Structure 1
Amino acid sequence: MPAVLESLFNILNSYSGMLLSALGETLLLTLLSLIFAFVIGLFFGLLNVSKSKILNIIGTIYVDGIRGVPLMVLAFFIYFGIPGAISASGISDFKMSALVAGTIALSLNAGAYMAEIFRAGIQSVDKGQMEAARSLGLPYSISMKKVVLPQAIRTMIPSIINQFIISLKDTSILMVIGFPEITLAGKIIAGNTFDPLVTWGIVAVMYMIIIISLSRLAKVVERRINVGDAR
């Protein structure tokens, strides 16, 4: 046990800067991807609840297509495939940073799930709300923006936070394209110290602290929403 504590102290003393930097990169990627995923999910969620069959088909193709591709494959396609195709075409020697590729891959992946969250949230609002707004002369877009979406988003907040948690954990997959997140930092530290037990224990605790904090936040928000609905 003393040897484990000594190893823990040495790793934290030598690599705390790397771990904190990796934590910052992980949170940055997660936040950026969730912002873009929110916009993507809202757009395709609205397509999926549209009365137009063509728009429904477009939304369904996106959601089913992206959800059917593993995130690792999507990351490889964006990071290696797209730049390779552009460079091979002779247009330019195009390169993409791991942050940009990771953000795109994670945004597309999370956006597909966010689209389903938006679809379910919008459909959970009583249809009478839309009918009442339309009967007052409001166009469909204004009725959706001013009446339906505000009510739907209140019920979707816990699910959005849960998606944030999922996206945070999914960032570990992006170590395959060299993005400097926590898991890649753990791999480097474990290789340098030859102490995988303590290193991966530290990484696991870092993930646990963040994810448990977000889970608590989701429960607090859900309770407040339920209290507001009860009133």
Structure 2
Amino acid sequence: MYLKGLGNTLLLTFLALLIGVALGIVISLIRVSWDKNHTEMHGPIKPVLGFLNALARVYLTVIRGTPAVVQLMIMYFIVFASSRNKVMVASLSFGINSGAYVAEIIRGGIMSIDEGQMEAGRSLGFGYVSTMRYIILPQAFKAVLPTLANEFIVLLKETAVAGYVGLTDVTYAGNIIGGNCYDYLFPLLMSALIYLVLVMFFTFLVGKLERRLRSSER
């Protein structure tokens, strides 16, 4: 059960991270584009982008203002009540939750890039989209990559509530074993130890990544 739970935990975290990063990029680009350009916009693009920005703000407010476990239960018992693919539903739920935090991380990275970079791209003949794609986003990702890696570690621990919908993860495995043995101490300590080892391992990788990024800047 622990091996199955470990596999589900890692798969769930990985899928949720992919969804969160993809969603976070889209949301952050909408918000940054509106914040930087809405005063200069004309034509039909302005109300469309304004509407998308309003939706993004509502999404960020709701997702960051409600517990992840409540979002998971709403997704499983209400939105996807007819589905029994627990990994898919949980991945989508945690991915949507993570996307709100990733969006703010990436938005902060983009906003930290000097305005001169955008002007340099425009002077070279790039449009706004091309400048963001080839000049701004690569620099922003490099700046926020360690923070995104830490978001992965936080997401790994947040998936411990997946057992609320009956998904066998590390925590749920320890809980079931404890119930069968009428002794929760050692099964739950084992679950905690597994999470601790995973977090220490990924923290080590994040540390190596940060050192490599620092050395590449010299």
TM > 0.5 fold call: yes
Long gaps (5+) in structure 1: 1-17, 85-93
2:24 is the alignment partner of 1:27: no
SS of 1:43's partner is helix
2:65 is the alignment partner of 1:77: no
In structure 1, the partner of 2:124 is: 136
Task: Map residues 4-23 of structure 1 onto 2, 5 A cutoff.
Answer: 18-23=1-6
Q: Pick from 22, 33, 56: which aligns with 1:59?
A: 56
- Asked if 1 retains the 8 angstrom alpha-carbon contact of 2:80 and 2:89, the reply is no
Letter paired with 1:48? R
Letter paired with 2:9? T
In structure 2, the partner of 1:9 is: none
Distance 2:163 2:80 in 1: 18
In structure 2, the partner of 1:6 is: none
Distance 1:114 1:69 in 2: 16
Structure with higher Rg: it is 1
In structure 2, the partner of 1:219 is: 207
Runs of 4+ in 1 over 3 A off after TM superposition: none
Distance 1:98 1:35 in 2: 17
Query: Cα deviations across residues 26-84 of structure 1 (Å, max 9, x unaligned)?
Result: 00000000011110000001111112371433322211121112111111111111245
Task: Map residues 154-165 of structure 1 onto 2, 5 A cutoff.
Answer: 154-165=142-153
In structure 2, the partner of 1:44 is: 27
The two structures have a TM-score, normalised by structure 2, of 0.90
Paired residues, number: 204
SS of 2:168's partner is coil
Task: Give the CA deviation at 1:199.
Answer: 1.0
Task: Map residues 67-216 of structure 1 onto 2, 5 A cutoff.
Answer: 67-84=64-81, 94-216=82-204
User: What is the aligned-residue identity percentage?
Assistant: 37
Distance 1:96 1:67 in 2: 26
Letter paired with 1:25? N
The two structures have a TM-score, normalised by structure 1, of 0.85
Moved more, 196-205 or 113-122: 196-205
Query: Cα deviations across residues 80-102 of structure 1 (Å, max 9, x unaligned)?
Result: 11245xxxxxxxxx324211110
Long gaps (5+) in structure 2: 39-48
Moved more, 68-77 or 203-212: 68-77
